[in-house]
Chain A
């Protein structure tokens, strides 16, 4: 064995060029595979995580009948101790209570069905964070007039403002994106624009008896901060629920459908309104990550903690099977892409090996002719391939590390409409790579398998070798 090793080693050094090229094909194979997979997992996961965390949360505790019948009658008692116990689980990042129902909102002559989502103003910051969606800037006639009067804002920017009359923004970043200002223009004009379009707003205090109204609903009901909205509907166990609520703030929801009908209030106010003392409709639980394994373990643990037999914990994919299927579908098309990549890089390796064999035919012929056993030759060649493979794999993986690190900390920044929308939802408009994980080492394993497969070819060729023909070259 030692002898073959020595021969293999010398063979590799003897024809450096060939060694480099073959090894390079393996290097590139694992390099690209690692980067591709990292990107795939990182970016898609980033997007999906955002979606899940913002909408359903990783897990929810609900009344067992709630998912089929989302009525307030299918609510359950909120227990501080259970909520704390769930928070106590290591991987749990946040536990947020909600009380949701559908109610009629009315002001003046306008009446509209709306979705009431009652929250804990403090805890909700770690989930949907309505505070970040409060309208901070609004392009009103007033604002445009004042800006025109200052005579410092260029005409084209004023035109853009006029085009966007009435629009509300929850962040200066969004306003900046909409106006399409260059960095220079932002520096010069943005502060003024922001100042003139600043909108008065407020959030909910703990146990506040007021409400937040979504922008479109507010404009339909013709209410603003300080006005009142009447809510009426059916409460717990059929009670009539009616009440007047002062508007504390206006929020801008990115999805127009939701923006049309959302009302946010505190859970205490809602419990009073619906006559649903101590009740909530769901407890949203977010974890450190959403791997299926983690979800299942935490779900089981939560279910053990729950004392009310009418409640249960559900994962996001049980709550939203359609989304889950779409993700499955996407990940499979991603797998197809990866498969194609593997195909290409396998070909790269195989091709190189093929050509190496063909031009070493004479060399092999000579060796066998002077008496080397075919098996010995096979072992030597195998060792050569293994060595090449090892070097290629290790270097390839190492080379991918800096790139993965770079794009993890400084990911590709998205621009344009897509970026706008993501910002609206409160997400980072970026495409990052994934942090190192099992997938990383799997790429090396897969490429190693390719090397092994490719090695079979020279072995077979050697086996079938007829010295005389080989010598003829």
Chain B
């Protein structure tokens, strides 16, 4: 169920440079695909991240490590706070599992578990399952260029295809021309109302790549709510096999 590690990864990956292609030769779909292909191009990854959930009345920070292999495999280990430490989440294809050491229990997670946002955050069910693809499920169009944080970006409008299994009506993405980082994304419903804004910031080089190390999610209807993800460390193309992503390993991983 908790595949959001690959989401984070996925969002990040768009900012990675593989090749620098001259802007004029790229179509909108190409641009988006490039960002996406970078993800697929990377066979695997290891990352250390923190997620801060901010609400008007409280705040919480969770820290975790993640391993991913392609699109289909992801393993996440919670490392902080103390009450949550040791929990692991495994995604294998469309299967989602969770392991809780305090009760020594391995559970397969049903969709009903996801009604409130993972770990109380603003990541929804849709994000977690992430069966959709930004490349295939949308029709893309460059609608302009804008400056975000001093960087020139393509402004791309993505309209959801008729039969695609996504709740969104459309998205607008600002993808930086130089490094193909997604600096901002706005998600809209079908009626054209903004539902959520995601921003990438704090650009750094990690493991030789340029990435946005901070990602912030803000729901439109409750601007005081935020989910802030920070990447502390990330390594690409680590040596890892499918067998690593197993139920036994869920219990052993440190």
Q: Which residues of A contact B (CB under 8 A)?
A: 71, 104, 106, 111, 113, 230, 232-234, 237-240, 242-244, 275
Contact = CB atoms under 8 A, between A and B. Distances in A.
A151 B103 CA distance: 49
B19 interface: no
13 contacts: A104-B110, A104-B113, A111-B107, A111-B108, A111-B110, A234-B116, A239-B83, A239-B84, A239-B120, A240-B84, A240-B100, A240-B119, A244-B105
Given A104-B110, A275-B83, 19 more contacts: A104-B112, A104-B113, A106-B105, A111-B107, A111-B108, A230-B107, A232-B100, A232-B103, A232-B105, A234-B116, A234-B120, A237-B55, A237-B120, A239-B60, A240-B87, A242-B100, A242-B102, A242-B103, A243-B103
A103 B139 CA distance: 40
For the complex of A and B, the 7 pairs showing the least CB-CB separation, nearest first, are A238-B120, A242-B100, A244-B103, A237-B58, A242-B103, A230-B105, A113-B112
Classify chain B: how many residues form its interface, as a range.
20 to 34
A242 B55 CA distance: 23
Contacts of B113: 104, 233
A238 B83 CA distance: 12
Interface in B1-42: none
Nearest to B58: A237
A114 to B, nearest CB: 11
Contacts of A240: 83-84, 87, 100, 119
Contacts of B58: 237
Contacts of B84: 239-240
A118 B144 CA distance: 56
Nearest to B53: A238
Instruction: Give chain A's interface secondary structure class.
Output: strand
B119 A238 contact: yes
Interface string B84-121: 10010000000000001011010110101100110111
Contacts of A71: 116
Query: Which of B53, B103, B105 has the most CB atoms of chain A within a 10 A radius of its CB?
Result: B103
A232 B103 CA distance: 10
Contacts of B119: 234, 238, 240
B152 to A, nearest CB: 38
A240 B60 CA distance: 12
A243 B87 CA distance: 13
A232 B107 contact: yes
A104 B115 CA distance: 12
A93 B87 CA distance: 46
A238 B107 contact: no
A238 B108 CA distance: 20
